[in-house]
Amino acid sequence: MAVVEKPGSGSDLSTIINDERYRAIFYQILVFGIVGWVFYSLVDNTLTNMANQGKAAGFDFLLGTAGFSIAWTPLDYKPDDSYLFVYWVGIVNTLLISGIAIVLTTILGFVVGILRLSKNWLISQMAAWYVEVLRNTPLLLQIIFWYLGAFANLPRPKQSIELLGIDWLVLNNRGLYFPNAEFGDLFWMTAIAFVIGIAGAIWLNRKATERQLATGVYEPTLVKTLGAIVGFPLVVFLVTGMPLSWELPVLKGFNYQGGTFILPAMCSVLVALVIYHSSFVAEMVRAGILSVSHGQTEAAYSLGIKPSWTMRLVIIPQAMRAIIPPMISLWMNVVKNSSLAIAIGFPDLVSVFMQTSLNQSGHAIEIVAMVMLFYMTVSLTISGCLNIYNKKIQLRER
């Protein structure tokens, strides 16, 4: 193509063929046509097959009675509720288990990540092997291991294991029993006091920072912060006459009565999810802290900032920038991986809706679409938050 053709010098057809814009349009039409044809034939086949089987597509079945019971849910579900309510139960169970797992896995992961960076050789090696072993075995295997290895062999209620030696925190083959909080009439005042306390603490810290920026005087705010967040609600709580009581689980006959419990299967899923993902968090934390160049530490020291402040004010804020984006996608993975609970019978969304309800009602397409819609909503929400965060830290950079 050494000779550049002037417009109009060649034939019209070759100009069109060689013009990138027309070629782009042609390719797009081609691809769209192929994909469209594939879709059309899939839909066509589906409709024929469904007509042959005498099935009708539609979401009417959602209002029909589900008719099966669900082993565990915090909601008030009865077998004669509708499929729509089953969907809701599944969503709540999934979000609950992944929410708890996310909090615990983040804490445990941070601890292991910091141990991994310990100057003590033995500790850092142990943390490294913890990470390697857990990262390199499948999660499903770990869930089954925790279930069959630990939580399926628990004793009967009469021989329950009392955790920490407390008789209202027990573990047996029916599950983990713990007290249930019963809120009194005036508990809402304590809750409001707590919210006010947090707002107050934020305000106090802001003012302290402003004063430090203006005058250079550093003023510790820890006591005031604690006072605002813990002390104030506590005072309100005591003044309103302690409107909170605990309903303890008590052994009556063959089982515990009162209190709340979670299934052994749920315990295994939680333990497995937390431990498995904590190894990933540990690696992120380690990589994040190591990504802050050593020059930052040296610069801080040469300015006379003491080591503990250097860590808190110089290293951690910069490390967070590298830790948080992968952390958020890990949280998304926790939500997705909680669906493996199906293997040991914990009733999460996939188990109650995609397996039981689907097998019973036979509405495959609608149910698969609804389950996927839920996971997509969660993941789009999370990645939306991630994008906002990324924009924010980008602005701070320059």
Which residues sit at the interface with another protein, rule CB under 8 A? 1, 24, 27-28, 31-32, 35, 41-42, 45-46, 48-50, 52, 118-123, 126, 132-133, 135-141, 144-145, 148-149, 332, 336-337, 339-340, 342-343, 350, 354-355, 358, 364-365, 368, 371-372, 375-376, 378-380
Burial class (CB in 10 A: 0-12, 13-18, 19+), 25: exposed
Positive or negative CA dihedral for 135, 138, 142, 145? Answer: negative
Burial class (CB in 10 A: 0-12, 13-18, 19+), 119: exposed
Q: Kindly state the smallest distance separating residue 301's Cβ from another protein, in Å.
A: 19
Q: Which is nearer to another protein, 94 or 190 (CB)?
A: 94
Other CB atoms within 10 Å distance of the CB of residue 139: 18
Q: Kindly state the smallest distance separating residue 335's Cβ from another protein, in Å.
A: 8
Q: Which is nearer to another protein, 191 or 373 (CB)?
A: 373
Q: Kindly state the smallest distance separating residue 61's Cβ from another protein, in Å.
A: 15
For residue 394, give both structure tokens.
């980008």
For residue 44, give both structure tokens.
């066509």
Q: Kindly state the smallest distance separating residue 80's Cβ from another protein, in Å.
A: 26
Task: Look at residue 251 and give its three-state secondary structure.
Answer: strand
Q: Which is nearer to another protein, 284 or 371 (CB)?
A: 371
Q: Which is nearer to another protein, 128 or 234 (CB)?
A: 128
DSSP 156-222: PGGG-EEGGG-TTSEEETTEEEE-EEEE-TTHHHHHHHHHHHHHHHHHHHHHHHHHHHHH------H
Q: Kindly state the smallest distance separating residue 340's Cβ from another protein, in Å.
A: 7
- What are the phi and psi torsion angles at 246 (to 5°)? -110, 130
Alpha carbon distance 358, 353 (integer Å): 6
Listed in sequence order, the residues at least 6 apart from 275 whose beta carbon sits closer than 8 Å to its beta carbon are 108, 134, 142
Q: Kindly state the smallest distance separating residue 210's Cβ from another protein, in Å.
A: 37
Q: Which is nearer to another protein, 168 or 375 (CB)?
A: 375
Q: Which is nearer to another protein, 270 or 367 (CB)?
A: 367
Q: Kindly state the smallest distance separating residue 121's Cβ from another protein, in Å.
A: 4
Q: Kindly state the smallest distance separating residue 365's Cβ from another protein, in Å.
A: 6
Alpha carbon distance 94, 342 (integer Å): 11
Q: Which is nearer to another protein, 28 or 69 (CB)?
A: 28
Q: Which is nearer to another protein, 238 or 380 (CB)?
A: 380
Alpha carbon distance 14, 12 (integer Å): 6
Q: 281 and 273 in contact (C-beta within 8 Å)?
A: no
